[in-house]
Structure 1
Amino acid sequence: MTDTDERAAVAERAARAGARVAHERFRSDIEVETKGNADVVTEADRAAQRTVIDAIRETFPEDAIVGEEEEERKTVPETGAAWVIDPIDGTDNYVRDIPVWATAVAAVVDGEPVAAAIVAPALDDVYTADAEGAYRNGEQLSVSDVSDPKRAAVAPTLWWDFDSRDQYAAACEAVVRRFGDLRRLGAAQIVLPTVAAGGLEGVISNLAANPWDSVAGVFMVRQAGGRATDLDGNRWRHDSTGLVVSNGALHETVLAATRAIDDRD
């Protein structure tokens, strides 16, 4: 087993373990705290993150951890090995008893993802990606081949705060004026692997994504044949501004839609 293979195995094992902890508490009488206007957190988030970290530490005790909750670091190191984790992506769905949420784990080396796992236990889906490709429940994934915008479904993603609702509205308008339909799932780490699986043709946001909301899913899209760039059309990185993801065939139209959010086009 190569180092990358081992990281892929650990990513899946850790994501499954964290998702199991979160799922045990799903649709229970769990206390909800507010971190910001609509940013919520629960003890399930914290317990799941601790479980994910423990699973990683069993094999890679010295690696850096980038995590959403508690005191873990918040940026991806440019050198060395690291893990980027989100114990529950889609917590607002989680606390509303909506099953669209997931535990995401990405293995990163020198700033670039090399493996990822996203486990959505309430949907009974396990997404993984390694050096060879991306998979859902063990079956290899490929982005859709849709090239006609009128047949495409595109999702605005990430959270536009209350003082940026004009941008949120612009994002929705940019989609419905260019594409056949819009989806808003409320969990970026569900939306991104859905592009990898061919269920969506694109994802748009003019915001800078937190790494835990994006790195694992972007890696899956790329391993399934899709494309991810920033607002300028450059290859997306964990520190990019803008998240423009597509099946490749429609990327220029998806990019134009994203740039329209703040009148770049």
Structure 2
Amino acid sequence: MSEFSAASTPSTPGALLGLAVQVAREGAATARRMRSEAIGDVQTKSTATDVVTAADKAVERQVIEALQAARPGDAVLGEEYGDTEAGGGSGVRWILDPIDGTVNYLYGLPQYAVSLAAEVDGAVVAGVVINAATGDEWTATLGGGAWRGEKRLHGSVPSGLGQALVGTGFGYDARRREHQGRVLAGLITQVRDIRRFGAAALDLCAVAEGTLDAYYEKGLNPWDWAAGGLIATEAGIVVSGLGGAAPGIEMLVAAPPAVHGPLHEALVALDAAGGA
């Protein structure tokens, strides 16, 4: 039996993080083991370029089963199987991306992650992101700071938007890509440079630790950013949507306070939340 059980895992941020870290590590190990098998079992999702592998589904099932064994009253929102309610009534919902960066996973690029967050009464209170390829791990609890191992994270301190290295990502729908390409063309002359790594959770962790100065993307689902968004926020990063909106599918912008305002205004001017 796991060291965690429904009786021994209270709904405190620290206890939920401990469970999240354990099951996410096990999921990351499964993803690594299954990679060669996954290459031979690729299906399509929204388009032929958006792949979903056997490993995505296997890792999600494994994590859900582990969470339900430890805390049978919790709900789980996962990318592959949607909202799974078990027992009900605990007030805790887990938000899971079993493999964030599936195309990187398919090609063997070492930038794919298991992302797992715990939400209590609608607020994310704990999160872990593990780069399954490298074992690098980022964690946060609400009010408890963001960490990479034993190192507390505080983001970067760029002098302005013109000195900011900005990460982004693109949807798989051709119409959305066309609009995102126009936004990118308008933004690239205003920043130091642009990076596209292909895993939103890891991009948010990069902003939290300062290896990216900022990040924005349209089309993110809760599992893409729940854990990474908490980690970035706890590192002092402003995570928002545009025009006073909360971060979500229309837009997510993450940047230190000195850069967030100028980046936000540039994205509004470029109609970054528009298009398909």
What are the Cα deviations for residues 152-184 of structure 1, in whole angstroms up to 9, with x where unaligned? 100122525202233121232233121101000
Q: Which runs of 5+ in 2 are unaligned?
A: 1-9
Residues 77-156 of structure 1 aligned to structure 2 (within 5 Å): 80-131=91-142, 132-156=144-168
Name the stretch that deviates more: 137-146 or 41-50.
137-146
Distance across 2 between alignment mates of 1:147 and 1:159? 30
Match of 2:6 in 1: none
Distance across 1 between alignment mates of 2:122 and 2:170? 22
Match of 1:224 in 2: 235
Name the stretch that deviates more: 110-119 or 47-56.
47-56
Q: Which runs of 5+ in 1 are unaligned?
A: none
TM-score normalised by structure 2 residue count: 0.86
CA contact (8 A) 1:102 1:121 kept: yes
Matched residue SS, 1:58 = helix
The answer to whether the aligner puts 1:34 opposite 2:44 as a matched pair is: yes
Q: Which runs of 4+ in 1 moved over 4 A?
A: none
Q: Which amino acid aligns with 1:162?
A: A
Name the stretch that deviates more: 150-159 or 14-23.
150-159
Distance across 2 between alignment mates of 1:124 and 1:65? 24
Residues 167-206 of structure 1 aligned to structure 2 (within 5 Å): 167-205=179-217
Matched residue SS, 1:199 = coil
Distance across 2 between alignment mates of 1:72 and 1:109? 15
Aligned length: 259
Distance across 2 between alignment mates of 1:189 and 1:4? 20
Change (3 A) 1:201 1:111: same
What are the Cα deviations for residues 40-64 of structure 1, in whole angstroms up to 9, with x where unaligned? 1111111111111122123211111
Distance across 1 between alignment mates of 2:253 and 2:226? 13
CA apart distance, 1:142? 1.1
What are the Cα deviations for residues 64-103 of structure 1, in whole angstroms up to 9, with x where unaligned? 11000135459xx9x9210000000000111011111100
Distance across 1 between alignment mates of 2:272 and 2:74? 41
TM-score normalised by structure 1 residue count: 0.90
Distance across 2 between alignment mates of 1:93 and 1:108? 28
CA contact (8 A) 1:167 1:262 kept: no
Q: Which amino acid aligns with 2:164?
A: A
